[in-house]
């Protein structure tokens, strides 16, 4: 049995999506979490809200310090870091990945990268029925991944960017008798995707991300998939707009 590691979780990929009723952050807020992760199991010790950043102040590292201090721990006690690598907001992903890689390099920690769809799947699996998670929507496209009723992904590769036509042709995992497929989506779901889901009799449910769900998703990642700091990269549903603009200006 693999020994559980004290793990810090960084969930700031999609600030507009989060759990409701969480006492340590407002609905939709970003979070960091602390837990014991290993051997496919997870014990969540606590979570801490991350306040929205500004040009003068970013609350991610202070939130990590508050969380560790509340549980009588220091950064030196950590053994690994789990980070939601997206898809999600450009700035949030860059900050999360940079912070996780820097802490892992400085403290000699293992890194566990988890896609946002799989973090959302932890919450979605608490309700009956197979489902599809869709997020990082723009115009007619979105990033989507298919899951079974138990929250297991249809493929090992993770999600993919789909057009509305590709979404129309998407084959979900076999539904349970009498239970419709569920589409777990953020508030930016394209209206064409919503219409397509309703035509097929799917239920549309809100997506919820949290540091606790990230810890539980990280527990499912094999130890062999741990990354080095230099290998950690954000996942983008499409080329970031800043890169597109730079390319247009500089060729």
Q: Count, in order, helices (H) and strands (E) of the chain.
A: 7, 10
Position 39 scores a pLDDT of 87
Percent of the chain past pLDDT 90, that is, above it, reads 70
Mean pLDDT check: name the lowest of 15-29, 129-143, 165-179.
15-29
Residue 5 pLDDT level (bands cut at 50, 70, 90)? very high
Return the higher-pLDDT residue of 250 and 114: 114
Report how far residue 142's alpha carbon sits from residue 146's, in angstroms, rounded to the nearest whole number: 13
User: In this structure, what token pair is assigned to residue 97?
Assistant: 């990945």
User: In this structure, what token pair is assigned to residue 213?
Assistant: 């769900």
Position 27 scores a pLDDT of 40
Q: Per CATH, which fold does 5-116+209-250 belong to?
A: Nucleotidyltransferase; domain 5 (3.30.420)
Position 53 scores a pLDDT of 66
Position 57 scores a pLDDT of 63
Domain map (residue ranges) of the chain: 5-116+209-250, 124-206
In CATH terms, 124-206 corresponds, of 3.30.1490, 1.10.10, 3.30.420, 2.60.40, to 3.30.420
Q: Does the CA dihedral 114-111-223-78 come out positive or negative?
A: negative
Position 164 scores a pLDDT of 95
Residue pair 214/84 in contact by the 8 Å Cβ criterion: yes
**Reported pTM:** 0.89
Interval 30-48: pLDDT, tens: 899 999 999 899 999 999 9
Same fold for the domain at 5-116+209-250 and the one at 124-206?
yes
Return the higher-pLDDT residue of 89 and 102: 102
Cα–Cα distance list, 127 to 121, 131, 152, 212 (Å) = 10, 10, 13, 17
Residue 245 pLDDT level (bands cut at 50, 70, 90)? low
Q: What is the mean pLDDT of the chain?
A: 88
Report how far residue 251's alpha carbon sits from residue 245's, in angstroms, rounded to the nearest whole number: 10
Span 38-67, average pLDDT: 88
Interval 152-199: pLDDT, tens: 999 998 999 999 999 999 988 776 667 899 999 988 899 999 999 999
Percent of the chain past pLDDT 70, that is, above it, reads 86
Continuous segment of H or E residues that includes residue 161: strand 160-162
């Amino acid at each position: 049995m693999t020994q559980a590691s004290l793990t810090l979780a960084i969930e700031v990929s999609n600030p507009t999506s989060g759990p409701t009723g969480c006492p340590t952050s407002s609905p939709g807020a970003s979070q960091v979490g602390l837990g014991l992760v290993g051997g496919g199991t997870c014990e969540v010790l606590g979570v801490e809200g991350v306040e929205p950043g500004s040009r003068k102040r970013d609350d991610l590292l202070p939130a990590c310090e508050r969380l560790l201090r509340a549980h009588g721990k220091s950064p030196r006690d950590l053994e690994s870091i789990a980070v939601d690598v997206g898809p999600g907001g450009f700035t949030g992903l860059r900050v999360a990945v940079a912070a996780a890689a820097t802490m892992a390099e400085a403290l000699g920690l293992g890194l566990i990268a988890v896609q946002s769809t799989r973090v959302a799947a932890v919450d979605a699996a608490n309700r009956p029925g197979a489902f599809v998670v869709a997020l990082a929507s723009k115009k007619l496209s979105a990033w989507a991944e298919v899951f079974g009723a138990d929250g297991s992904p249809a493929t090992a590769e993770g999600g993919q960017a789909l057009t509305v036509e590709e979404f129309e042709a998407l084959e979900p995992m076999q539904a349970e008798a009498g239970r419709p497929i569920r589409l777990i989506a953020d508030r930016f779901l394209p209206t064409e995707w919503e219409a397509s889901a309703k035509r097929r009799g799917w239920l549309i449910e809100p997506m919820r991300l949290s540091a606790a769900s990230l810890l539980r998703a990280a527990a499912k990642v094999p130890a062999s998939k741990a990354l080095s700091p230099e290998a950690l990269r954000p996942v983008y549903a499409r080329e970031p707009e800043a890169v597109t603009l730079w390319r247009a200006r500089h060729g």
